[in-house]
Amino acid sequence: MAIVFEAPKHSVNWFRILSYTAAVGFVGFAIYYLFFAASPRFDVILPAELERATQISKIDFVDPSVILNSAAFKRLQGYADAPSVGTLGRPDPFAPLAAE
């Protein structure tokens, strides 16, 4: 009977090493672009409609008493009544409708 004194060979698991390297590389890449890379300029990307909206939002408003005390506004006030609640429904919504 033969006795073998050789140590068993351990093969290198290249797939595991490559997977760990790729994972560490991805995490490093993500950390760099999330925290250290220069942020993109969003004002260049904005559409023209949003640019006009920012211009409109910068308008200075005048005192409303100038408009409320004008003769033209006072003439408009007579066209509509004051808002009211009106009828809100029947007292018992589950009662059958009365024949008319």
Q: Over the stretch 86-95, which tens digit does the pLDDT of each residue have?
A: 777 888 888 8
What per-residue confidence (pLDDT) applies to 15? 94
Q: What is the C-alpha to C-alpha distance for residues 67 and 73, in angstroms, rounded to an integer?
A: 7
Burial of 66 (0-12, 13-18, 19+ CB in 10 A): exposed
pTM exceeding 0.95: no
φ, ψ (nearest 5 deg) of residue 19: -65, -45
Rounded to whole angstroms, the Cα distance separating 74 from 62 reads 18
Query: 73 and 67 in contact (C-beta within 8 Å)?
Result: yes
